[in-house]
Structure 1
Amino acid sequence: MADAKVIPFGEEPRARRSPTGGRRQHAKDGATKRPQGPGQGPGQGAGRKAGPLAPVPEPQETEPRTPGPRTSDERTSDERTSDEWTSDEQVAEARGAEQEPEPDGEAVREQGGGRGWERRIAGGLAFLRRRVTGDYEVDEFGYDEELTDQVLMSLIRPLYENYFRVEVKGIENIPSDGGALVVANHSGTLPLDGLMMQVAVHDNHPADRHLRLLAADLVFMLPVVNELARKAGHTLACAEDAEALLQRGEVVGVMPEGFKGLGKPFSERYKLQRFGRGGFVSTALRAGVPIVPCSIVGAEEIYPMIGNARTLARLLGVPYFPITPTFPLLGPLGALPLPTKWTIQFGEPIPTDGYPPEAAEDPMLMFNLTDQVREQIQHTLYKLLVQRRSVFF
């Protein structure tokens, strides 16, 4: 006999109602009784006895359910919290509040800054240890790459970035590998333009190249400047040293105007002086490296030279003694350069590897190439001056 459920009187589940509104009740033998009419429900029929109650069947075993939070639909109305009766927007806000808060950006920066200072201190101590023990390399020209990268460039960089606010263009014209000769105009009374060009190549070239400048004899005659120039990679402006560096694959910088361009009066600003006898072209031809013209705008106005005390210059053994609106009138304060806005543009390289080896001895070829480089620099200077909005901005 099939087990039958006990259905309490008057509380039959809705699921057993027939589509017509009647009720079905299973008897002990499994037969189905017709729906009773009005007044003939259980307990209301005359002379009818209620049969014995059937035992409650044991629940069938089902697959165990993975425990987890029940949704609001699975819970009864008493179990549901007040948040579940709110609108969708309130529910979304409640769920967002339960998520783990994101870390504060300022706290992350402070934490990262702390680690950055720790790395800097550790690096500085390691640098000092190598300095004391002598565990560093210097090439045959006296160039100390580690000292230049970590100390000298760090001292010049604030002047480059914050004072002169140098803008660099065409840095990709310097080759990523191999030798190259960068030829630039020279001006500014003091040779700050060479230092700014060195920082421009060091900080902006995608291949992290270093510029080795060719300096005049006077630089290596000064007591402290001599040592610092050697450590920074500068060398004497002679054909032998320049050719040796180029054949090693270095980027070499030269300013052919020399003291004629550096000490020219303010009235002749941005007018290139004579480029010597073209010795830099001969060096590039022998090494077979490209020549990269470079134009620098902004250096002419840092010390507006309105006069030259030639007698005092001869007594001091210097090429010129500048007189500016602030020097020597204001004393040491007058030596402070004006904060002009600089632009350094590297032009398209001029190849030299297509010429035969004996081309370096051809004076006509050297003259033509020298004039081509000079004209390209001068044309770029005029172009940058037209684009410049102001001397200081």
Structure 2
Amino acid sequence: MADSSQAKVIPLHGSPSADGAGSQGTDSGSTGDADRSASLGDGLIEAAGALAQGLAARTLGDDWRRKVAGGLEFARRRLTGEYEVDDLGFDPDLTENVLLAILRPLYENWFRVEVRGLDNIPAVGGALLVANHSGTLPVDGLMTHVAVHDHHPAHRHIRMLGADLVFRTPVISELARKGGTTLACNEDAERLLSAGELVAVFPEGYKGLGKPFSERYKLQRFGRGGFVAAALRTGVPIVPCSIVGAEETYPLLGNVEPLARLLGVPYLPITPTFPWLGPLGLVPLPSKWIISFGEPISTDSYDAEAAEDPMLVFDLTDQVRETIQHTLYALLLDRPDAF
């Protein structure tokens, strides 16, 4: 009589066999299916990884790993407060990693900016960049900042001097401060120049930005020459900067003056696309840009009292203006087509 304590094991799948062959065959088949499933799963994971890497490379470029790592490091610094802001509000960490990164596609792919004469900008120490202003919106200052930071060997930041309206506009004022812009007054300009900063001024102001398209590339008055006085007091060189291309980004065809006065803005533009296309009218036209930096005009041979000489200030102001104007004409001849 068989021992009832030893129960017979009946396989759940397959036929029972006295020698266990059926059981062994089933185990072998199950192992093979599991191996194939594992292999398929690994293949899907590898394919998904390759797809993700390909999308990242297309979106961020071939060095996407470095960009992702840089983005994570930037987020860590912002969360832990390991970044610096100067007493005028400039945040170089945010400017380099966010603001300039947003502007770079416009600079490289939309306006296709060509920059010349970067060797005329000193690698260290204070200097005053004086540029023409145009284009309805102040995009030219932003593109100049990208040009100097990305292509000058010293990768210097530009500290722009902005009008009062910039700092009265919500959101824009905060971004402008963090991007290095400060109020266009002699006190701030001299403070930055004395600290060895690269300062940019656009003496035409709104007269240059808001001039009709029919007057494109014709410089407006440069004011009283306050920028020259600031350079004389601090002994820094003046670097003329000529910008071609900004005039065609938003060609100004008209100005709704009554509504502009009501809103408290210097002008309310009418362009070929605005206001007809609504928000799409704010997209700039893809004009071809050239930014050229001329030979520096030295001021260190004058003493600080020279800034109080109105004739000297006038002569230097006129010299800078004429240099920029003649360079603009030359650049226009060198640029075969506006677009």
Partner Cα separation in structure 1 for residue 226 and residue 94 of structure 2: 31
Is residue 211 of structure 2 the alignment partner of residue 264 of structure 1? yes
Q: Name the residue aligned to 2:30.
A: none
Check conservation: 2:120, 2:294, Cα contact below 8 A. Answer: yes
> Which structure carries more helix by proportion?
2
Counterpart-to-counterpart distance in 2, 1:242 and 1:313: 29
Alignment equivalent of 1:172, drawn from 102, 119, 139:
119
- The answer for the alignment partner of 1:133 in structure 2 is 80
The alignment partner of 1:296 has SS state of strand
| Cα distance between partner residues in 2 of 1:323 and 1:115 | 42
| Alignment partner of 1:197 out of 144, 155, 159 | 144
- Residue 208 of structure 1: aligned partner: 155
* 2:233/2:303 contact within 8 Å kept: no
Q: Structure 2 vs 1, CA of residues 162 and 116 (structure 1 numbering), >3 Å: closer, same or farther?
A: closer
Name 2:232's counterpart in structure 1. 285
What do residues 349-388 of structure 1 show as CA deviations (whole Å, max 9, x unaligned)?
0000001221000000000000000000000000111111
* Alignment partner, residue 274 of structure 1: 221
Corresponding position: 1:245 with 2:192: yes
Of the three residues 305, 325, 332, the one matched with 1:385 is 332
TM-score in terms of structure 2 length:
0.81
Give the partner amino acid of 1:273.
Q
CA distance in 2, matches of 1:246, 1:203: 21
2:138 corresponds to which letter in structure 1?
P
Higher RCO, 1 vs 2 (CA within 8 Å, ≥6 residues apart): 2
Q: Following the alignment from structure 1 to structure 2, what is the Cα–Cα distance between the partners of residues 129 and 191?
A: 32
CA distance in 2, matches of 1:369, 1:324: 35
Q: Which residue of 2 aligns with 1:350?
A: 297
Question: Which is higher, the Rg of structure 1 or of structure 2?
Answer: 1
Structure 1 gap segments, 5+ residues each = 1-108
How far residue 303 of structure 1 moved from its aligned partner, in angstroms, is 1.0
The answer to whether the Cα contact below 8 Å between 2:136 and 2:269 also exists between their aligned partners in 1 is yes
Q: Secondary structure at the match of 1:223?
A: coil
> Residue 176 of structure 2 corresponds to which residue in structure 1?
229
Tell me the distance in 1 between the aligned counterparts of 2:283 and 2:152.
Answer: 29
Q: Secondary structure at the match of 2:252?
A: coil
SS of alignment partner, residue 171 of structure 2: helix
Residue identity in the other structure for 1:213: M
Report the TM-score when normalising by structure 1. Answer: 0.70
Q: Offset at 1:116?
A: 3.9
CA distance in 2, matches of 1:135, 1:356: 41
Question: Is the aligned partner of 1:339 residue 2:286?
Answer: yes
SS in 1 for 2:236: coil
1:238 alignment partner AA: C
* Match in the other structure for 2:165: 218
Give the 3 Å change call, closer, same or farther, for CA 115–167 of structure 1 in structure 2.
Answer: closer
Residue by residue, what CA displacement relative to the aligned partner does 1:168-190 show, whole Å, maximum 9, x if unpaired?
A: 00011001111000000000000
Question: Which of 94, 111, 126 is matched with 1:147 structurally?
Answer: 94
Q: 1:161 aligned to 2:108?
A: yes
Structure 2: distance between partners of 1:305 and 1:117: 40
Q: CA RMSD in A?
A: 1.5
Which whole-Å CA distance do the structure 2 matches of 1:146 and 1:273 have between them?
36
> Does residue 301 of the first structure (1) align with residue 245 of the second (2)?
no
| Contact 2:234/2:304 (<8 A) preserved | no
2:268 alignment partner AA: F
5 Å-filtered alignment, 1:71-150, equals: 116-150=63-97
Q: Distance in 2 between matches of 1:326 and 1:225?
A: 23
Structure 1: how far apart are the matches of 2:328 and 2:66? 43
By how many angstroms is 1:115 displaced? Answer: 9.3
CA pair 383-116 structure 1, distance change in 2 beyond 3 A: closer
What's the CA shift for 1:318?
0.3
- Partner letter of residue 198 of structure 2? V
